[in-house]
Every structure is written in C-alpha cells, then in structure tokens.
Amino acid sequence: MNTETHIAIIMDGNGRWAELQGKKRVKGHEAGAKVVKEITTYCSNNKDIERLTLYAFSTENWKRPRLEVEFLMKLLEQYLKNELPVYLQNNVRFEPIGDIRAFSKSLQKTIKDVQEKTAHCDGLVQSLALNYGSQNEILRAVNKIKNDEDDITEAMLSNALDCKHDVDILIRTGGDHRLSNFLLWQSAYAELFFCDTLWPDFTTNELEKILKDFKKIERRFGGLK
Ligand code: FPP
C-alpha cells in the first residue's frame, strides 16, 4: 500500500442499530461516536493511513427531527471536547470540512479550538465532515475562484475545495449503495467498499479486511498496466 492512503467513511446505520434493539435512534448515534473513536485510534496507529475523513453531519441532515439534530450537535461538541487529549496523545490533527457557519457559536468555537490545538500534530489527519455536502463544497469553491481572469483548471478547483485530497478507499456501512453527496470530486478514482454492517457494529477487524482487499487491487486510474 502506498504511504498516503486516504480512507473516507459514510457511517450509516446508527438509527437502525438502535431500533433493532428497541432503543431510541439517538442511542445509535451515541454508540456510533464510540466507533468513531476506535476507528480513529486504529488508523492513527497504522502508518499506511495518512487521512481518515468521516461523514458526521451532512447538509441534508438538517431535515431530521429537531430533537435528533440537537442531540447530534451536543454529541459532537461533547465528543470533540473529550477527544482533544486523545488527539494530542495520538498525534492526530483534526481538520473539519464543510460549512460550519450554520452551527451554534459554541460548537463553532469548539471545532476551531480542537483544530488549532492539534494543528502541530503530524500523524493521522482526521477530518470530520460537518454540515458537509459535496455539491455545496464545489459551489463554494467555484465562487471563491470565479473572479480569476484565467480559465478555471482542475488544480485550481481542487485547491479551493475544503478537502484537497483524493480518496483512495471509500467505505459505506449500513447496506446502501449510494455516495449521498460525499466527496464526489475527491472520489473520482476511489475504490468503493459497501458493507452491510451497521456503523455501531463496525470493527477494526472489518477495516483491516478492507485494507487487505484494497492492497490486492491494481489501480490504473484509467490507464493501462
Ligand atoms: C447515519 O446513521 C449517521 C449519521 C447521520 C450521523 C453520523 C454520526 C455519528 C457516527 C455519531 C456522531 C459522530 C461523531 C463524530 C461524534 P442514520 O441515522 O442515517 O442511520 P439509519 O440509516 O439506520 O437511519
């Protein structure tokens, strides 16, 4: 495997996981947050993995019931506050992507605080996609560069995106086979892995298996052998 592997994950299935156990959907998000921690720690100890980008809250997730959205916001803030020492201990740099201006001032402050305090870390980069949608990201990028005199190039657009790094492995848990507006530009040549496991049940063993399968793939990026 090259040393710059970027893994992106659509963490789906929290609600179903909870409902299957007769619990409220938010209990699934709580369990899902624990898995975020486990997978991040695993990736921070794996020298082959440079980046881990996780879809934590999409631009479409505002359509959920108000109480669920509020719960997710609180969970996120609590998670970031609790995890700061862990990020530092594991040398993980936290880089949010998405338009966080829609969040409360307090949550925005926590996000920026963790970003600033981990800016010196040079191990794994963990990105949480927060109020993120790929179409919105591309639109914001185009608006940033549209006044340049030259024609827009791929490199210019890529550089104006929140996430400037191509995805190598894109995983979606929870059984559906969709990209749900996640890293569409960056996943142009990603290897896609869809698994039925609901996110709260996703384990480091399953991730290891995906990494093994990924290693066997001969990637040609549209070229020939
Ligand atoms: C999809 O499950 C998951 C989300 C919309 C949010 C992801 C959030 C977490 C993993 C927990 C919080 C994250 C952090 C970083 C603290 P779903 O609710 O759509 O599940 P369903 O398809 O079964 O309904």
- pLDDT value of position 220: 75
Query: What one-character-per-residue DSSP string does 119-138 give?
Result: TT--SPEEEEEEEE-HHHHH
pTM for the whole structure: 0.96
Q: What is the amino acid identity at position 115?
A: Q
- pLDDT value of position 54: 98
- pLDDT value of position 225: 63
Q: Which of 14, 26, 197 to mutate to test the pocket of ligand 1 (most atoms within 8 A of CB)?
A: 14
pLDDT tens string, the chain, 225 residues long: the values are 455 799 999 999 999 999 999 999 999 999 999 999 999 999 999 999 999 999 999 999 999 999 999 999 999 999 999 999 999 999 999 999 999 999 999 999 999 999 999 999 999 999 999 999 999 999 999 999 988 778 899 999 999 999 999 999 999 999 999 999 999 999 999 999 999 999 999 999 999 999 999 999 987 777 766
Residue of 2, 14, 46, 61 with catalytic role:
61
- pLDDT value of position 4: 76
The CATH architecture annotation of domain 6-133+167-215 reads: 3-Layer(aba) Sandwich (3.40)
- pLDDT value of position 1: 46
C-alpha angle 44/35/73, rounded to 5°?
A: 105
> Catalytic site residue 213?
no
Q: What is the 57 CA–ligand 1 centroid distance (Å)?
A: 8
50 with 5: CB under 8 angstroms?
yes
Residues 6+ apart with CB under 8 A from 93: 87, 118, 119, 120, 121, 122, 123, 124, 125, 126
